[in-house]
Amino acid sequence: MMIDFGIKTFFSDVKNALTSTRILGIDIGTTSIKLLEVGKKGETLTLENYGILETKDYLSRGNAAIQTSALKISERDTAQLLNVLLREVQPKTKNAIVSIPIYNAFFVTIDMPSLPPHEAASALQFQAKQYIPLPMDQVNIEWVEMDAFQNERGQDMRKYLLVAVPKAVIEMMKRLLGSVGVNLHALEVEHQSLIRSLLSPSDPITQIIDIGGESTGIYIIEKGIAKRSTQVDSAGSSLTKSLARTLDISALRAEDLKKRKGLLGSGGEYEISHALYPFLDIIFNECTRIRNEFERSSNKKVSEIILVGGGANLLGIDAYVKDVMGLPIKTTDSLRHITLPNEIEPIRKELGRTFASTSGLALRFFV
């Protein structure tokens, strides 16, 4: 069972509500808005259009990010940016499935004795009151069974993952999308779209690291379920600002150098790469801590890592992460279910990492 905000709880079923053969996946991130339009021709999914609008203001003004874990989304500013993106891309549909960042949701794991489904539902609803710092009438709650085990007394137990999203977040997203003429048919916590586009239930335990502009999402996935979900407020902008300070250059110039040289600078350009390592270490030390905690508590091993997000396109990052974390980097293509136009096939890997969440949102409509 998947954690699934939108179809059953918040909105009507997408497949029943729409007759269109096209859908938009829209990912409103910390410093950018990404849009993917996917259509279906016969049994084939095709990429019809895509676009990304990134604000650079956050590089010089920390409070100019679209949203962060400590900064609520600006409806007006985000609507303006989304309007610009829609005007440039000109999609042929306005029906959309949209992501909710993990920091807009509450995640709780609860251990309970094995109960019949209807009794477990009532017990979980009661338990939620102890963990969710909002009145129950102000949140929408979903849960999924993660594991079955026996406690030290030999009693049959079940471990549940409970996820709650404030209704205020849902209403805000409905207003925002409605203000730009987009038909919002479903919302989904962002890691679920990553799971859909990157993994299958038969894959080994995997750590997904989603490096965005202002924050990095860290997830450990087993059999299609997120066993750990967290984020750290260090990401692409941290690297850029570090480089700007080290070289005493503007943030925009540093951003350009970072993208062109990455971790592969040598000779006179070695200083460029060297300035990035301290902030990369912050990100991946936290990834290692989360992995170690999961492995200790579950007595299971993470087998591989998947890097996604715009920051995952940093030159040389695969080799660096493999070295510091001691695990292979899986190069899963998040667009593998979608046929791309021939002219953009050469940048499939870069697009796949950048639009991993967005493609998962679009795929939800067709699976």
CATH number where 147 lies: 3.30.1490.300
**Residue 201 pLDDT level (bands cut at 50, 70, 90):** confident
What is the model's pLDDT at position 265? 66
Co-location of 147 and 193 in the same domain: no
Amino acid identity at 191: H
Greater model confidence, 132 or 304: 304
Helix, strand or coil, per DSSP, at residue 200: coil
Please report the pLDDT score of residue 69 as a whole number.
46
- What pLDDT does 129 receive? 87
Q: What is the pLDDT of residues 93-117, one digit of tens each?
A: 999 999 988 778 888 888 889 998 8
Q: 173 and 159 share a domain? A: no
Question: What pLDDT is recorded for position 144?
Answer: 83
In this prediction, residue 70 has a pLDDT band, given cuts at 50, 70 and 90, of very low
Structure tokens at 304: 């591989």
The CATH number assigned to the domain holding 300 equals 3.30.420.40
Q: Are residues 2 and 18 in the same domain?
A: yes
Do 238 and 185 lie in a common domain? no
Buried-state track 70-109, b at ≥16 Cβ within 10 A, e below 16 = eeebbeeebbebbeebbeebebebebbbbbbbbbbbbbbe
Summarize the confidence of residues 249-273 as an average pLDDT. Answer: 78
Q: What is the dihedral of CA 51, 240, 314, 329, to 10 degrees?
A: -110
Q: State the pLDDT at residue 253.
A: 86
My answer on whether 39 and 80 are in the same domain is yes
The verdict on 225 and 301 lying in the same domain is yes
pTM of the shown model: 0.83
Mean pLDDT of 53-76: 57
Q: 47-61, 219-233, 320-334: lowest mean pLDDT where?
A: 47-61
Contact criterion met (CB below 8 Å) for 97 and 26: yes
Residues 271 and 214 in one domain: yes
Q: What is the CA radius of gyration of the chain?
A: 21
249 & 326 share domain: yes
Which of 158, 154, 159, 75 lies closest to 109 in space, CA to CA?
159
| Together in a domain, 74 and 194 | yes
Length of the chain (residues): 367
CA distance readout (Å), 366 to 23, 42, 341: 9, 12, 19
Q: Rounded CA gap, 143 and 342, in Å?
A: 42
Q: Average of pLDDT values for 357-366?
A: 94
Residue among 109, 127, 108 nearest 119 (CA): 127
pLDDT tens digits along 203-218: 999 999 999 888 899 9
Please check whether residues 250 and 318 belong to one and the same domain.
Answer: yes
Last residue of a domain, one of 116, 144, 166: 166
**Residue 135: domain span:** 106-166
The Cα 101–Cα 62 span in angstroms is 19
301-345: pLDDT as tens digits: 999 999 999 888 888 999 999 999 999 999 889 999 999 999 998
Closest to 48 (Cα-Cα) out of 89, 98, 97 = 89
Burial level of 295, CB count in 10 A (0-12/13-18/19+)? middle
HSE of 85, CA atoms in CB hemisphere, 13 A: 28
Measured between alpha carbons, how far is residue 210 from residues 69, 113, 247 in Å? 15, 35, 27
The whole-number pLDDT of residue 71 equals 42
The Cα 366–Cα 332 span in angstroms is 20
Structural domains counted in the chain: 3
